[in-house]
Structure 1
Amino acid sequence: MTILTNAVFKRYLAVGPSVQQALKTRAKKKSSSFDKFFPQQNSTRKKQWETLNEDKASWFRRKFAHVHAREKGHEADPYGKKKAHVDKLREIKNQAKIDQKRHKSKFHSKNTVQKLMNDNPFFEYVYGTNSVYAALLNPKRSSHSRLLYHGTIPSKILQQADELKIKTESVDKHRLNLLTNYGVHNNIALETKPLQPMEIVYLGDVDTSSAELTVHEFSFNNEDIAHELPYSTKSDFKNFPLGLYLDEITDPHNIGAIIRSAYFLGADFIVMSRKNCSPLTPVVSKTSSGGLELLPIFYVDKPLEFFTKSQEMGGWTFITSHLSDATAEKYTTGKTLSVPDLNGICSELPVVLVVGNESQGVRTNLKMRSDFFVEIHFGGSKIRDRAQEPIVDSLNVSVATALLINNILTCK
């Protein structure tokens, strides 16, 4: 053991000085490389502007002029365009946040149970005495689940429910309020499947001898299927049918009121644009007082094609209601009718009356394909209005439609 220790000690004495010298050299190199990049107070390094023989101020101006320009806001944007653009973007962003909060608030205010009941795509709750009775009589309603009531059921509804073998269920008034979204339900509601109106492509020929018109639809394999639809000829001055086309009417109460007036006054059918009109909800049924179930209603997916093909294939005349507009003169010149001109027009040709929403009216592309135009002129006294323009300058679309239908279906 002693011999081994002596040998290691001798080896260390032989190698030790060289190792120590190497470590000293390495430490010396490290310190020199560090000192090379560390700034010294008495450094003799030249600055960049001195190397380029350039004045210090001009060198900084050349290198950092864009930074100074960005800091001077008013000089970089002398006309305020950039500031206006930034303010506009900020306003759009803030408005988007407000719209998002407003949209969310609509859903937070709903009761969860009520939302599930009202948004179910498989069934809906038709409410109101006349609406429920008409729905029970409508063969287009594929199936009814149950009849919910509070108190007593009217005898005519109970008799019809017994014939159809519909289950009746007594509930409290609060549940009816939730199911009908607090509508005027008259203590009765019918759980049934939603209506699915036929989607047609155009209106075909009219047979006055049999008092029938044809409506054409395309099946899934693009086959043209014609359906015969009878129309009313109760008066001597109505030989041809009268239909309505509803364009961009989004208020379900307006649509319900139009359907009610159309059924009462004697219109034969209604055609609606599927994409931009209110769907046929229980609110529409209630407002129409059951007329939704009694009047033929069709959907159209391509309104322009519907107008053109109905005119060419069936000889239908499209009369559009509109308001006076300077931009519309180019396609209304020579085609404008007064309201009395509509009297008895269905004794000569089949007519489709086109109506639109109150704010914008009928779309321009549909106006350009219309045959005639009619306007209900303002009859009030402008002297009574303190404002420069009349405050009440138009009729509700359902009232205007009723006036036009009545003039079309009356004798001269």
Structure 2
Amino acid sequence: MAWVTPRIGLRGPPLLINSLSWTPVRHASLTSAIERGIRKSQNLRGSPSRFPEPARSPPSRPRFQKPARNNFSRFDEDKFVRTGSFEGLPREHRDVRPPRPERVKRHKRKRGQDVHHPTDAVPERIKSEVKIPTSIPYTTPASEFIYGTGAVEAALRCSRRQLYKLYLYQGEDEELSPAKIKIRKLALAKDIKIKMAFAKWAQLMDQMSAGRAHNGCILEVSPLPKLPVQSLRSVSAMTDTHFRAELAPQTREEAAVNGTSDIIPILHPAPSTPEEQPRHRFPVMLLLDGVVDSGNVGAIIRSAYYLGIDGIVFAGRNSAPLSPVTIKASAGAAENMTMLYARNEVEFIQRSKANGWRFYAADAPTPGVPVTHLDRLSMDGSQDGNGHPLAGTPSVLMMGSESSGLSAHIKSHADATVTIPGARHSVYLGVESDPARIDSLNVSVAAALLMDMFLQTRLAVSGPVKKQKMW
């Protein structure tokens, strides 16, 4: 028989008193029982000590040390599932890294050759179904979309505008063309936002270009600078590198687009050989009055830029604006061309003439009017025949509209009239002697011919082209 006697004032479980021995017995807690079971299991494994030290996990191996070679039979699949450790596998099975790709030999880049990365042709995953917006908002109220690879590339290279966003279209199962790859790299170099367009974006880009061919390349930009002027200032010598213009008043917003610099550079042709001296000349400008066709204006700007005209002056309010159609027709030449604007063309002509400039009006040939034929300057600069009056003063060539030519109030202030005589016209009968009645040239063609005469462009002749063998 046993009974429990409470222990007053002492901590711990109560004492169990046996009726025979009166020996106190302490109940074992659950924790101590578990500890005894652990020690007992360790003793059964062969430990010499009655109470051995608890087993410690081995220290973690540094990553830079190679794992020890283990037998394949000791591989624990459950441990691999829990921890992902490949310990126990042979070395050939333990290496799960993907094999290194073969090294691609890089070819040396030749001069003038572009080297493209394989991802340049497909910069993003091509999507066959995309949701397109209903419209494309402008970044600023004055923004405009220019299109075409030539115009967009020229705008990116010249950086005369504010460049906002580039849109590149890529069709399904096709790669970007070399021209688009070059444009995308230029935009990335200038930190310009690029939108890769797919699928039905083609119809939206047609709306952005007003239905004209855009070649899958559209750039949102600010307007092209067109500096308002009142006159052209005097030029002191043929060796001058620039001249100045008298600026007209403009608002703060116009000045942010057009700038405020009155310096106009003079383009001197570079020598073709090291022994040749630079060819200096007085500046030659082009004035357009009433040319309303955007394609003609673009073609004139392209010819003027290529031949070396120093600047173009747009007179009055009748000329075609510098729209995206004009920019595309100029093949990007407008992006680097100096362009001025004269609100009052008569006042502009009078003030510039007072500063030493001479103005020449282009007109169709008139029968019965005596003319003087001028020949080109020879290569050494001497004058042949009747001489060339354009060699001694800065000059302005004035071109009129496609239908009626120069207006009468502008033509009356010209110093002389220049014309291109037709080969089929009689000197006395004029266009009446031609059955087809072709009385003049297209304004862009006539401007190119007259600018070539004014600038004394030399003709470059090379030897015959050798025939290449076809294998």
How far off its partner does 1:318 sit?
0.6
Worse-superposed segment, 302-311 or 160-169:
160-169
Match of 2:218 in 1: 189
Query: For residue 187 of structure 2, what is the aligned residue in structure 1?
Result: 161
- The aligned runs of 1:73-92 (5 Å cut-off) are none
1:268-287 CA distance string (max 9 Å, x none): 11000241101000100100
Q: Does the alignment pair 1:349 with 2:358?
A: no
Q: Give the 3 Å change call, closer, same or farther, for CA 173–226 of structure 1 in structure 2.
A: closer
Q: 2:456 & 2:137 partners in 1: Cα distance? A: 45
Paired position in structure 2 for 1:62: none
Q: Which has the larger radius of gyration?
A: 2
In structure 1, what is the Cα distance between the partners aligned to 2:434 and 2:153?
49
Give 1:117 deviation, angstroms: 7.3
Tell me whether 1:250 sits opposite 2:285 in the alignment. Answer: no
Contact 2:316 2:343 in 1 (8 A): yes
Alignment pair present for 1:268 and 2:293? no
Give the corresponding residue for 2:446: 400
Q: What count of residue pairs does the alignment treat as equivalent? A: 285
Q: Give % identity.
A: 30
The aligned counterpart of 2:85 is none
User: Residues 225 and 339 of structure 2 are in contact (CA less than 8 Å); yes or no, is this contact kept in structure 1?
Assistant: no
What are the equivalent positions in structure 2 for 1:27-176 lying under 5 Å apart?
A: 121-141=141-161, 143-151=162-170, 152=176, 154-171=180-197, 172-176=201-205
1:226–1:167 distance in 2 versus 1, CA, 3 Å = closer
AA paired with 1:370?
A: A
Q: 1:284 to 1:117 in 2, by over 3 A?
A: farther
Output aligned runs, 1:210-359, within 5 Å. 210-219=240-249, 227-234=262-269, 238-313=280-355, 315-325=356-366, 336-338=371-373, 340=375, 345-359=389-403
Residue in structure 2 matching 1:206, options 220, 235, 239: 235
- What's the RMSD between the two structures over aligned residues? 3.1
Distance 2:366 2:141 in 1: 42
Shift of 1:129: 1.0
Q: Which of structures 1 and 2 has the larger relative contact order (alpha carbons within 8 angstroms, sep 6+)?
A: 1
Cα separation, partners in 2 of 1:285 and 1:344, compared to 1, 3 Å: farther
Contact 1:259 1:292 in 2 (8 A): yes
User: Would you say the 8 A contact 1:322–1:373 is kept in 2?
Assistant: yes
Cα distance in structure 1, aligned partners of 2:389 and 2:213: 39
- The TM-score, its normalising length taken from structure 2, stands at 0.55
Q: For 2:365 and 2:425, how far apart are their aligned partners in 1?
A: 18
Q: What is the CA distance between 1:244 and its match in structure 2?
A: 0.1
Partners of 2:151 and 2:374 in 1: CA distance: 33
Q: Distance in 2 between matches of 1:386 and 1:239?
A: 40
TM-score (norm 1): 0.63
Residues 293 and 274 of structure 1: is their aligned pair in 2 closer, same or farther, counting only changes over 3 Å? farther
* 3-state secondary structure, aligned to 1:379: coil
Which range moves more in the overlay, 373-382 or 253-262? 373-382
Distance 1:322 1:238, change over 3 A: farther
Question: Structure 1: which 5+ residue stretches go unaligned?
Answer: 1-112
Deviation at 1:354, TM superposition (A): 0.3
Contact 1:344 1:409 in 2 (8 A): no
**1:301-339: CA deviation from partner (whole Å, max 9, x where unpaired):** 0000000000002x011111112458xx9xxx78x5536
Residue of structure 2 in register with 1:365 after alignment: 409
d(CA) in 1 for partners of 2:194 and 2:312?
A: 33
SS in 2 for 1:205: coil
